Structure formats: structure tokens, C-alpha cells
Amino acid sequence: MHNVLERLKSGRTWDFPGGVHPVDFKTISNTTVIKRPSLPECLYLTVKQHIGLEGQIIVAPGDKVLKGQALTKNSHPLSVPVHAPTSGEVVAIAPHVSAHPSGIAEATLQIKPDGEDKWIDLTPLTNYQSLPKPELIEAICSAGIAGMGGAGFPTHIKVGVQKEVEYLIINGVECEPYITSDDRLMREHAWQIRQGIDVLTHILNPKHIIIAIEDNKPKAIEAMQVACQENRKYLVCSVPTKYPAGGEKQLIQMLLNKEVPSGGLPIDIGVLTHNVGTCYAIADAVFSGKPLIERVITLTGKALSKPGNVWALLGTPMSHLLDFAEYDVKKQKRGQRLIMGGPMMGFSLRSDHVPVVKVSNCLLVPTDSEIPLTEAEQACIRCGACADACPAGLLPQQLYWHSKAKELDKAQDYNLFDCIECGACAYVCPSQIPLVQYYRQAKATIREDEKEQIKAAKAKERFEARQARLEREKEAREEKHRLAAEARKKRAEATPVKDTADQIDDSVSESDPKAKVAAALARAKAKKLQSAPSNTESTEQPEKAQKSAAVQAAIARAKAKKEQQAQQTAEAKEETPSQKSAAVRAAIARAKAKKEAAQQNLEKPTAESNEPQDTSSQELEVSEMTAEEKKKARVAAAVAKATAKKEAERQEKERSDNSVAGEQAHNEPAQEVEASEMSAEEKKKARVAAAVAKAKAKKEAEQQEKESTDNSVSDEQSQSAPTQEVEVSEMTAEEKKKARVAAAVAKAKAKKQAERQAAQQNDIDNPEDKELTE
């Protein structure tokens, strides 16, 4: 380290390979002070003026802006804002030709100056040494400062490094011919440049600070030595004039004899470099609070009558600067030829409307003889001169072949991106091959391919993430369905099957009135127990006990039904032929009496319908009848029901639900229990079933009347019973129940008519024998 400093203090440096010594032509523009041209009619501020990403526009057409006002804001760490160079109005935000070799149109803010040049409120940081470093870095970023030496890398990124900085090199070499902007800046503003170095030293805390200036700028070296003499850490040294000594890697190699590794950065070896113009902008931002809105640009070339250096506002069109330098069109007989930058690394402009940007340091306007137009490209003769001139130690010939053949992978194998595009190879090429242009195109193609690969990788990542999300959702749905199925299965297993008592009730024959009555009483009792308010013990009674009670009730009903069937079977076996004959005769007599009574009722329908029922007589008769007589009476009632169908249909419309329920209550206790359990809908269904049963009985009776004779009455009656049984068997349990109710009502009416007929035949001693004879 000490040997390096001692060597530099003694005026000795190291050298880098290659390089050329072109004529510098610097005296054309460095003899006059920096001037300030007038305001242009319109400023064209390109949104992206640096390496990185463009900021987000925060103004709109029609907005009034002040000088120094931010027009964009940072949207990414690699972006810096753009500020209004003067006060005025934003007239448009549209694409405009840019400072690019292709002249591609980029997003541009167009500001029309109002001539007032009114500043915003500035906030200088004079006590910067007491401020934390992140706040200073943020101030540099907010000022929109990017590398002023030509690279345009955001300055706040370079000063925000976390690695230790051993050497801070301030680059004032300015090695390219014609350009003198840094030379004039160091001569006139050396003190402010040193202030910028102080700020960088405070932020980076380097061990050594070296200010390098090319030895063809003696006045600039003297000015910087005077400005930095108060600080012994600042070493101002001159370097030999050799192109491209101003290159970052080449300058480090000359001063420190260190080489930046391929694909690496100077910070990797503990070195950081900044341009003198960048130091001036940092001092302006910290001590004055001004953002970067202007820069020194060299106007040179023999086609200009007044060449020199000017303070050009960012966004100033080149045509305005040409007018200020008195561009002589006659000196360019082959047409206007403008070069942004120097003759080695600059590029031709496609229009004089290209605006000044942050990295613009020179506008070269040569005559036809000063820089002759490039002749037609010829074939490479493999002389090797390009390899000897390359300061990066590359093989330009191989890079040229692979770049021209679009063999980009092979070009990268020869370290294409280590090329600094200095143009030394093209300068010495005898075949006039624009080697740098091939390298730039190859680099641009590779960068675009890398961007596409990054996009494809991100798209693949999003696709895979989407597929994973869909798979997770599918698994979640399947799991949800599985849990739902298990829950349904558990509910099905927990739900009790049909009550055993109800199953036994279904098995009980609907034709047994006693069993039905017992079942109805059991249901009514169970329902009463359920509806009654339960005490603490009953609420805690387990469900199994309730089911047991229902089962016992059903078993009792089944036993009663079985006993009833056994009794009926025994009575049927004990029945004699004479009893059957007597029963038949009695039934026929009651049927004829019913028919005569029906004819009388036709004459007096109103009186008959309103006549009260002799319930007491019916109950007395039923109580005096034996089981056998009851059975025969039911048979007779079925026959009578058919003959009384017409009258029943007329009376059915006039009956109400209450009168039917009253008749059922007088004739059978079971009817009261069943009717109490029936809803309005069930009652309606019962009436419909009764009407159906009556219609079927009427049809059967009419057939019997046509075919019957006095001798075959008993046979016809015996046939009617099986028919009814078949029809009944085809009916459902509910229809059977309703049919029995209707039959009971018809029986009551038949009994009433039979009693009236008996009263009219008091004079006849043996009515049954007489009817049988007839």
C-alpha cells in the first residue's frame, strides 16, 4: 500500500495492455469558460436517462411545475427521478426521439418554459456530517444523480455498498479526443468538486482518496491540488495520456496495478471510482439542495463557429445548442452529421431534436475532412492489430466472427461482456470494420434473450404455482366430500329405524275392529304421554325405555287381534245351517225394508235429513245381538249399502265433518279414537275412500239384483262377500281404514231403516217365513 502511494507521489504509474494515441483536438473547446445558453422553447425530458429502470410519472399534461420539481418517483432501487429544469407547463407526455444509436422513441415529458425560472423550496444539508449515512444516500437518490462519466449507473447504488472501500478514485482523466467538459469543470469549480469528495469520504470512509487527471490537463491538475491541499488524505496525481486511460478498469490498473476480475466489479478488490462531474452534482444536492437538472456539455468540431462548453439544461434539444454554437451548414456538404460523445465511443444522431440527457457530455459536429466518413467494410485480413490495441486483453477478431454469425454462446466464451466498447480495435482496423457495432448488437441480443428467459422462468414458476394451487384445492374438495360422506354415514347409523310398535301395527289386520281399537288406544295413550309436561325424571328417561313401552303396547294389540280371530273361527265352526238360513232371511227382509224406506225418503228429503237419530235404540239393539247376529248384520249392511247408494250420494254433500264424526261416535268406540287422530286432510281422504267403496258396492248390488232370484239369494250373497274381500285386499291400509268407517256409517243407517220397517209390520207374525215364501 505504501509502495503504491509513494510511487504515485513520485509521478510514476503502471500501464495497461493495448491502447492507442489519437490526436486529442481538445484545444478547440477548452480555451473558453463555460457558458449558459438561453432557455429553449420546449424541453424534452426522457423518463429513463440512466442504466436501470424508469421512474413512475407523477405529473399530467396541463400541470404547472416549478424548477427542481420531481416529475417522476422511484419505482425500483435501480431508478432515479427526473426533475423539471425550469418552471413552466407540462404540455405533453408522449414518445420522442431519444439519445440512442437507433433513435428509438421513448416516453418523454414535454415542458414549455414560462420564463420565470422559479425554484421550489430547497432544503440543503449543510450539517451532513451529523446526519446518518442512509439519509445522505437518500438525498443523493432523490436528487436524481447518476454517473456523469458516461455509464449512467445510479450513484446511490454505488455509494450504498456494504463492503469495505480501501481506495476511492476520483476520475478526471477524460481521455477521449475532443471532450473537455470535465477539464473546464475542474478548472472553474474545483472547490465544489472537493466538497462532493468530502461527502463521499464521509459516506464510504475509504482509507485512501486518489484524484487522477490526465497529464494533458495541467491547469485542471493545479486547480484540484489547490482545492485539496487542506486534506492530506487527498492525493492528486497525473496519469500518462493514453486512450482509454479513463476507463474504470484501465485506470485502476494504471494507479494500483490491480486487475478487476472478469465479470467482477471494482468493489470486489476494494476500489470505488466516481467521476468529477458526479462529485459536483453530489455537492450541489447536499449543500444547495438542488437536484440534477443541468450538466456541462462540450460543443466542438470545426463545423461550429463558436465551440466551447455550456451549462445545458436536461431536455434541451440539440438544435438549440447548435444555434447557440453557430453551426455552419456549409461545412458539412454531405449533409448534417452529429455525433453524441467523442469520435471513439460516440454515436451518430438521427435527428437534431434529440435532447440532452444525464450522460451527454459532448456534441461533436465535424467537417467532412475532419472525420472522414467510414468507407465500405472490407474483409478481415487477420492482421491482429485489433488484438494488440485491445486494452481488455480480448480477441476482437474472434468476437467479430461469432457476433456476425450470431453464434452468441461462442462469443460469450470469448468474454464478450468484458469489452468496454472503447473503439480502439475499430480505430486501428485497416479493413474499416465497425467492430464495436457488431459487439453492441450481440450484447443487445443476448440481453434481450436473457430477459425472455427470465420472463419464461417467471411464467413457468407462476404456472407451477397455479398447478400446485389447483391440486391443493382438488385435494381439499375431495377431503371435504369424504368428511361429508362420513358424516352422512354416521347420521344414518345414528338415526333409529322405524319403531317396532309401528311395524307391529302394520302387521295387524285392518279388518279386526277390536285390534284396531286397541292399537288406536295405545297410540292415543302414547301421544298423551308425549304431549304431557314431563318432570325431571321423565326428561332424563332414556330413549330405550320409551321404545320398550311402544313395543309392549304393539304386542298387546297383536295378542288381542289374535284372540279375536280365534273367537271368530270358533263361532263360524259352531254355526248351524238353520242359523245361516235365518240370518239370510233376516238380511233379505232388512234389505227390502231399506229399499221401501229409501223410496219414502225420496218424497221427504228435507224431513228425513233433519230427523234426529235414535241412538239409544241402536245401542240397545246392538247390545242384545249375539256375535253371530252381529256378523250377519254386517253382511246385510253391505247389501243394503249398495241399494242406498243414490240416497247416500245426495246426503253426502249435505253432511258436515261434525255430523259424520257424531255418527261414528255413536256406532263404534274405535271410530271416536281414530277420528280424533285424523287431521282435516285425512278426513277428506276418508270421505273419498268411502265414496269409492259405496260406488263399488252399488255396482255390485245392481248386478246382483238383475241376476238374483228368490231361490238364489243366499248364493248371490255368498258371492258378494268374496268379491268385496278381493277389492278390499287390493286397497291400501289407509283406504281399508276409510272404507271401514264408511261401512260403519252405512250400517247405522240400515239399522235405523230396519227399525222403522219393523214398526209398520206389527200385524205380521212371521215376516221372515212370508218373505221366504214370496
What tens digit of pLDDT does each residue of 699-721 get?
776 666 665 544 444 444 444 44
User: Cis peptide before 240, with omega less than 30 degrees from 0?
Assistant: no
User: So what's the pLDDT on residue 583?
Assistant: 57
**Cα 113 from Cα 84, distance rounded (Å):** 10
CB 177 within 8 A of CB 25: yes
Which tops the pLDDT comparison, 771 or 72?
72
User: So what's the pLDDT on residue 697?
Assistant: 72
| Sheet of 105-113, strand order | 43-46, 105-113, 88-97, 64-65
Which residue has 332424563 as its cell numbers?
A: 540
Q: Whole-model pTM? A: 0.62
Which tops the pLDDT comparison, 102 or 575?
102
Going by pLDDT thresholds of 50, 70 and 90, the confidence category of residue 185 is very high
CB 288 within 8 A of CB 158: no
| SS3 per-residue string spanning 95-153 | EEECCCCCCCEEEEEEEEECCCCCECCCCCCCCHHHCCHHHHHHHHHHCCCECCCCCCC
**Cα 114 from Cα 703, distance rounded (Å):** 120
Going by pLDDT thresholds of 50, 70 and 90, the confidence category of residue 32 is very high
**Cα 669 from Cα 238, distance rounded (Å):** 133
How much is the average pLDDT of 306-335?
92
Report the first-to-last Cα separation within the chain, whole angstroms: 157
**Cα 413 from Cα 405, distance rounded (Å):** 14
Going by pLDDT thresholds of 50, 70 and 90, the confidence category of residue 344 is very high
- Chain CA centroid to CA 754, Å: 87
Residues near 592 by beta carbon (within 8 Å), at least 6 away in sequence: 757, 771
Which tops the pLDDT comparison, 45 or 569?
45
Nearest one of 683, 717, 678, 686 to 700, comparing CA atoms: 717
DSSP reduced 3-state for 90: strand
Q: Can you list the positions of beta strands (E) in 571-683?
A: none
How much is the average pLDDT of 606-633?
47
**Cα 177 from Cα 343, distance rounded (Å):** 7
How much is the average pLDDT of 229-258?
93
User: So what's the pLDDT on residue 564?
Assistant: 73
How much is the average pLDDT of 514-524?
70
Q: Classify residue 45 as exposed, middle or buried by CB count within 10 Å of its CB (0-12, 13-18, 19+).
A: buried
Nearest one of 356, 304, 325, 348 to 96, comparing CA atoms: 356
Point out the least confidently predicted range of 187-191, 295-299, 568-572. Answer: 568-572
Query: In which region does residue 21 sit, left (phi positive, over 0), alpha (psi from -120 to 50) or beta (all else)?
Result: beta
**Cα 653 from Cα 615, distance rounded (Å):** 22
79-88 burial, b if ≥16 CB within 10 A, otherwise e? bbbbbbbbbb
What does the angle CA 348 – CA 349 – CA 351 come to, to the nearest 5 degrees?
150
Nearest one of 200, 101, 195, 96 to 156, comparing CA atoms: 200
**Cα 223 from Cα 276, distance rounded (Å):** 13
Point out the least confidently predicted range of 234-243, 548-557, 648-657. Answer: 648-657
DSSP state of 92: E
CB 750 within 8 A of CB 648: no
Q: What is the DSSP string of 671-684?
A: HHHHHHH--HHHHH
% of the chain with per-residue pLDDT over 70:
71
| Strand-strand pairing, 208-214 and 167-172 | parallel
**Cα 437 from Cα 443, distance rounded (Å):** 10
Sign (positive or negative) of CA dihedral 234, 237, 241, 247: negative
C-alpha distances (whole Å) from 255 to each of 13, 71, 213 are 6, 40, 11
Q: Would you report the helix, strand and coil content of the chain in percent, each value rounded to 5?
A: 55, 10, 35
pLDDT of 769 above 60 = no
| Sheet of 234-239, strand order | 234-239, 208-214, 167-172, 271-275
Helices (DSSP H) in 532-542: which residue ranges? Answer: 536-539
How much is the average pLDDT of 54-79?
91
DSSP reduced 3-state for 752: helix
**Cα 19 from Cα 756, distance rounded (Å):** 148
How much is the average pLDDT of 499-504?
48
User: So what's the pLDDT on residue 6?
Assistant: 87
pLDDT of 151 above 90 = no
DSSP run (H or E) holding 298: strand 294-300
> Helix crossing, 733-760 with 627-643: angle to 10°?
90
User: So what's the pLDDT on residue 635?
Assistant: 63
- Chain CA centroid to CA 606, Å: 81
pLDDT of 537 above 70 = no
Give me the residues paired with residue 90 across strands.
111
**Cα 181 from Cα 311, distance rounded (Å):** 10
Going by pLDDT thresholds of 50, 70 and 90, the confidence category of residue 554 is confident
DSSP reduced 3-state for 272: strand
C-alpha distances (whole Å) from 312 to each of 35, 78, 173 are 9, 25, 22
Tens digits of residue pLDDT in 376-412? 889 999 999 999 999 999 999 999 999 999 999 999 9
DSSP state of 162: -
